[in-house]
Amino acid sequence: MGTHGMIRIIDKVFGRKINGVRVVPLLLKIVVLFTVFLLLSNFSSNYINLMLNRGMLVKLMNQLLVKDLKESYVFAMNQHDIYFYNQDLPGAVEAVEKNAAKELKGEMSMLLGIKPGGDILFMSSKTPREGRFDDRGALEFLQAAKDGGQPEGSVDFRFRGENYFGVYKYNPKWDVFLVRAEEVKEFFAESRNIFRNIASLIIVITVFCVLVGVFLLRYILRFVGLFTGDIMRMQEGQRIDLLDMDKAPNDDITFLGVAFNSLSSTIDNLLTIFKKFVARDTAQKAYREKEIRLEGTKRDLAILFTDIKSFTFMTETLGTDIIKLLNLHYNQAIRSIHQQNGDVGSIIGDALLAVFGVIEGETENKSLQALRAAYKIQEVASSLRQEMHKRKEEIIRVRGALTDAEERVYRAVLLEVGVGIDGGEVFYGTIGSYERMVNTVIGDNVNSASRLEGLTRIYKVPVIVSDYVRAEIGNGSREYHFLEIDQVQVKGKTRGKKIFWPVRGSLMDEAMEKDMAEFSKGLSFYYDGDWKSAYKRFSACTLPLAEEFRERTGKNKCPKEWDGIWTMTTK
């Protein structure tokens, strides 16, 4: 190929020179930018995905490590009791290490039992045993955390020249920090290999896309080249001619007309979406005042908090299908709340917060509305469980039985919820900034509603309310009968408060009234410290919540300084 042939190729690819300046084709610029951005976006998204997956892997691994650590912790406590009687320290240490070894998958996975001074009491690993833990910084961190009232948590450390991450829990009987850890490089080795393989694949795909893109762009931009060529010829000939517009696409002008119509439709859609993402009273106010201000007021509201039980098991079993199940439940649950003139404050995964008493012009008892909504939510969950049971029975009728995987999915979709309701004066308004704001409710009663929901798991009742709710509805209500459950001081509070189970009037019959009477008598003895008499009454009661009190009064003696208030140590 001669010099002139090479120049023609260069001019075709990189553009001709006009007055000493090369006019680079638009196609080349687009292809170069397309290639660069495609590579950057793919590598960046792949790297971000890797980092996010790593974070998720670490989170999941931490959950597994916590599980392993809890099991090892309990086993170590048991072995200490055995050691206390037989004084066989090597045997106890060996038993703890063998038990932990069953859960160690990696070559450098380990369980350590570290004395505060650094001596290693337990070491379960596929690597050789060490006598001391030499990361002084990590030791100081563990000791400081324990002294600061945090005997368990996460810890990073170096051991035998390698970086580890893990979880720890202080074992007071052995006086050791039990540490379940994984080596960082070993844990992330597979993700690095995946990143390299995907990077190679990205390059191959990018090259293919560039080739296809060049072909498509040459066709799409063919008139740009024709127009440029005409203009160059005009410049060379020092003349002005008409551009050949034959068969040129009329896309821009047409698009402007379509864009205007699209804009009108988009605004209407945005308004509809806006109403779905904000509280109804906020939408009303925005429509009336044409703006939303960062402000709030103290208001007397009823707060409903509902949470889905066994949510971790559900998410582990259903994966992304958990979203479909949640939407199926929330679609009816939120409708039930709105039917009672409640407003959804927030939805965080398996938890939902609703407020009652915020709709302007509403005069009905807000606590009664909240309680009705609570039982409607229970009915929604119950109907879903019944539907799942029917489907199970149909499968059994056709096939004879469910597979193990189907049985696990069936148990996962048997959705159960707990509901807690409290009320009182709270801050209700809009917080954030003028760039991003949310409607919120803040107050001690909001936290209390969440704590009451948590107590439904302990007392085995579907709904628990505070004395505020009972008093506002009134004991004389035929729709609900309030059974006092306990006086509880929940975690984070300094005072106890009475809690109640609102029993629906439709459930009241002779047997229910008898059970409620027996429970109330037992509760009276329980408050007075006569746990022996209380146990007899609770034993005569068939209500599920009596089981908790039989456990308290049957095996334990009444504390010396008993004031009738049960202190919860967990949320």
Render pLDDT for 281-340 as a digit per residue (tens, 0 to 9): 555 555 454 455 555 678 889 999 999 888 888 888 888 888 888 888 888 898 999 889
181 vs 165: CA distance, rounded Å? 5
pLDDT: which is higher, 104 or 268: 104
Residue 106 CB contacts under 8 Å (≥ 6 apart), including other chains = 126, 182, 183, 186, 187
pLDDT: which is higher, 478 or 281: 478
For residue 93, is it within any domain?
no
Whether 24 has a pLDDT exceeding 80, the answer reads: no
Is-above-0.85 flag for pTM? no
103 vs 113: CA distance, rounded Å? 16
Handedness of CA 71, 73, 75, 77 (dihedral sign): negative
For residue 373, is it within any domain?
no
486 vs 494: CA distance, rounded Å? 16
Which has the minimum average pLDDT: 31-35, 144-148, 163-167, 521-525?
31-35
For residue 265, is it within any domain?
no
**What CA–CA distances, in Å, run from 539 to 224, 349, 520?**
90, 38, 12
For residue 527, is it within any domain?
yes
Q: Read off the pLDDT band of 253 (50, 70, 90).
A: very low
For residue 258, is it within any domain?
no
For residue 571, is it within any domain?
yes
378 vs 306: CA distance, rounded Å? 10
* Measured CA angle at 431 (ends 430, 433), to 5 deg: 120
Q: Read off the pLDDT band of 18 (50, 70, 90).
A: low
What is the average per-residue pLDDT within 248-254? 42
Give the total number of structural domains in the chain.
1
For residue 277, is it within any domain?
no
Could you tell me the residue range of the domain that residue 538 belongs to? 474-571
Residue 465 CB contacts under 8 Å (≥ 6 apart), including other chains = 367, 371, 420, 421, 422, 452, 482, 499, 500, 501, 502
Please name which of 149, 94, 144 lies closest in space to residue 116, comparing C-alpha atoms. Answer: 144
Q: Read off the pLDDT band of 50 (50, 70, 90).
A: low
What is the average per-residue pLDDT within 85-102? 86
Tokens of 428: 């209700």
Q: In this structure, are strands 176-183 and 296-308 parallel, antiparallel, or unpaired?
A: unpaired
Scan for tokens 């209390």, then name that residue.
448
| Residue 521 pLDDT | 94
Name the CA radius of gyration of the chain, rounded.
Answer: 34
Residue 76 CB contacts under 8 Å (≥ 6 apart), including other chains = 96, 113, 122, 171, 173, 174, 178
Backbone angles phi, psi at 16, to 5 degrees: -85, 160
Tokens of 184: 């960082």
